[in-house]
Structure 1
Amino acid sequence: MNPPCAFRSPRWLPNGHGETLWAPFLARAPRPQYRREIWTTPDADRLAVDWIDGRADAPIVALFHGLASSSRGHYARAFAECLGRRGWNGALVNFRGCGGLDNLRPRAYHAGDSAELRWIMATLAERFPDRIRFAAGVSLGGNVLLKYLGEDGAAVPLRAAAAVCAPIDLTATAMHLDAPQNRIYAAFFLRTLKASMGRYRRRFPQMADWQAVRKARSLREFDDAFTAPVHGFADALSFWREASAGPVLQDIAVPTWLLHSANDPIVPVDSVRSWPKSPTVTPCITDHGGHVGYVSGTFPGHLRWLAESLIAFFAGHLHHE
């Protein structure tokens, strides 16, 4: 059973740009108390997993965040608070180098890192073999999750999954961000990524051509200078093509909710509609919502709709194999 695919933004927040920018900075968001674990990766690196502890017999939901975010993102905090109210367990995963924890090896995270997510899900399955497990990915984290689901098919140790505003066609998303009306977002991502590079540059001076990284004037130039060479891709275009989840959506075997908004200014909605999808994938494209905005309620708004809708989708699969 899927939740209703209907969302209407408040009258005082009339468009996707407003929703996208209001949600992280001005909407009311809770501040949940996490219990942090540091996990050692198979290549002797580390990442932080922030937990919401629920009932011992309740499901576990893993959440994977977006670019330049963490378990402290607005949507992550709202989701964690909603899980806590329901008594479910949340594993809010911070990708390498995120969540205030520096990683130990000269690599980062990226939109196609399904191998990392595969290890995380296998670890949860090994630690909690008798629990029902769900997973949700937001934006970049949604693409990584969908890519993993498509690659592993029926072998994934999950009852169901969901992706929110996932850039499943990275080339189309990059071109969309290059449009004049959307360059504010590209500039924000580029500025944030460059700022985070200072930590890598000091610890790993041979990791990348830091002068080229510093001079990057677009996300493509940044991915050409850093993301692609550091993670084994030929260039930005090769990275975007190989990391996109779109081509494997038709191979997903577990029930998956694909939530997107038609007025998302970051991920073009046509790129979500165009890819063939498995019968197990249920698209939900709302008229409003922006990019992971979904602000509702009276001014200044709250963020419960997205969290409650995700949990309603998972609850509908508690008793269905």
Structure 2
Amino acid sequence: MPFIRQSDYQPPRWLPNGHLQTIYPSVFRKVEGVVYERERIDTNDGDFLDLDWSFSKYDFPKGPGKKKLPLVVLSHGLEGDTTRQYIIGMVKLFNSNGFDCLAWNFRSCSGEINKTLRFYHSGATDDLQTVLNVALSKGYEEIYLIGFSLGGNLTLKYLGESGENLYPEIKKAIAFSVPLHLSSGSSKMEGWEDWIYTTRFNRSLKKKILEKARYYPDQINTSNLSKVKTLRDFDNYYTSQLHGFKDAEDYYAKNSSINFIENISVPTLIVNAQNDPFLSKKCYPFELTERLENVHFFAPEEGGHCGFYQSGYNGVLWSEMKALEWITRS
């Protein structure tokens, strides 16, 4: 499919660059009216995942032919959770348009440290598989996937790994602000213009390592925390080691979704703004996606990282409207 460069997204004039378009909605946007019902599920390795459900008030006619509403499964970004504005904003819009929503928290992201030595990472598709198994066990026959940033990479990798063997209930997917090429994306975050994001992520990640080390003192070397200055450092000393990879580069190579998207078998839209401060040039695979049948690549000039804030529209983001349009069109 040909990639799409042109976009109808227009940021407010007072958000003139990718950094402001990233930071403003993250800090100042407030979404109200979403009520979650939490479900804790067990994983096969003795851990747990916290799932947050939000059910639409829309009802099909009652009777013998009644079926479940369609379900949207949402995966958040690095050090995010289901309360982030880009998650609950999407949940609110889809609930109001007749979709149930399942937003899931990655391991250690729901407010409680997870039980096992491992955490979560960009390619942990086994956990997404577990979440989808729960959704299918509840009788959902029409499922759509939405991922953001790290959760977008995980979603695309899952779809590519599954290929033609994907559950038939999964109909479409859309991913925003995706670091498709993890290594170069990590290098991009080492620049001075991204230090504020890197510092924030590492502060949160280091805190979790210290907490995890209380339970696994013989398996986690906290002395390496002083050496962590970049995300690549963290992935070298911790992400890779806790999840069975040789080093950060091995972790990046084996989990970058750009290596999996050619095998995606359902209509999938990737939306990466060209002024996204997190993404490298390799995260804009124009030539690759141009020859893919099921993957559409949309590269609007503006939007930032998980941003796409717009004035008016009752507080709904451009990205949320785009997702609804993509999923509901025939």
**TM score, norm. by length of structure 2:** 0.89
Equivalent residue pairs, number = 314
Alpha-carbon distance in 2 for matches of 1:126, 1:47: 16
Which secondary structure state, in structure 1, belongs to the residue aligned with residue 102 of structure 2?
Answer: strand
- 2:133 alignment partner AA: A
- Mapped contact 1:289–1:295 kept (Cα < 8 A): yes
Unaligned segments of structure 2, at least 5 residues: 60-66
| 1:196 counterpart residue number | 208
- Mapped contact 1:294–1:303 kept (Cα < 8 A): no
Change (3 A) 1:118 1:15: same
Change (3 A) 1:269 1:303: farther
- 1:79 alignment partner AA: M
| 2:299 counterpart residue number | 285
- 1:32-55 Cα offsets, whole Å, 9 max, x none, are 110100011111210111001124
Deviation at 1:151, TM superposition (A): 1.0
| 1:37 counterpart residue number | 39
- Mapped contact 1:17–1:265 kept (Cα < 8 A): yes
- 1:247-300 Cα offsets, whole Å, 9 max, x none, are 1111111100111101000012542225723310011111111000111115xx
Alpha-carbon distance in 2 for matches of 1:312, 1:229: 41
Deviation at 1:31, TM superposition (A): 5.0
**Which aligned pairs between 1:203-218 and structure 2 lie closer than 5 A?**
203-218=215-230
Alpha-carbon distance in 1 for matches of 2:260, 2:75: 19
Alpha-carbon distance in 1 for matches of 2:321, 2:81: 20
- Mapped contact 2:177–2:271 kept (Cα < 8 A): yes
Unaligned segments of structure 1, at least 5 residues: none
- 1:121 alignment partner AA: L
Select 2:255's aligned residue among 216, 232, 243: 243
| 1:68 counterpart residue number | 79
Alpha-carbon distance in 1 for matches of 2:254, 2:98: 38
Deviation at 1:126, TM superposition (A): 3.2
| 1:153 counterpart residue number | 163
- 1:25-76 Cα offsets, whole Å, 9 max, x none, are 0124335110100011111210111001124632000000000000011101
Corresponding position: 1:136 with 2:154: no
Deviation at 1:309, TM superposition (A): 1.6
- Mapped contact 2:153–2:257 kept (Cα < 8 A): yes
Q: Percent identity?
A: 28
Could you list the runs of 4 or more consecutive aligned residues of structure 1 that deviate by over 6 angstroms after TM superposition?
A: none
- 2:309 alignment partner AA: V
Which secondary structure state, in structure 2, belongs to the residue aligned with residue 159 of structure 1?
Answer: strand
- Mapped contact 1:247–1:275 kept (Cα < 8 A): no
| 2:329 counterpart residue number | 316
- Mapped contact 2:19–2:277 kept (Cα < 8 A): yes
Deviation at 1:98, TM superposition (A): 1.0
Alpha-carbon distance in 2 for matches of 1:212, 1:37: 35
Alpha-carbon distance in 1 for matches of 2:299, 2:86: 18
**TM score, norm. by length of structure 1:** 0.92
Select 2:243's aligned residue among 228, 231, 247: 231
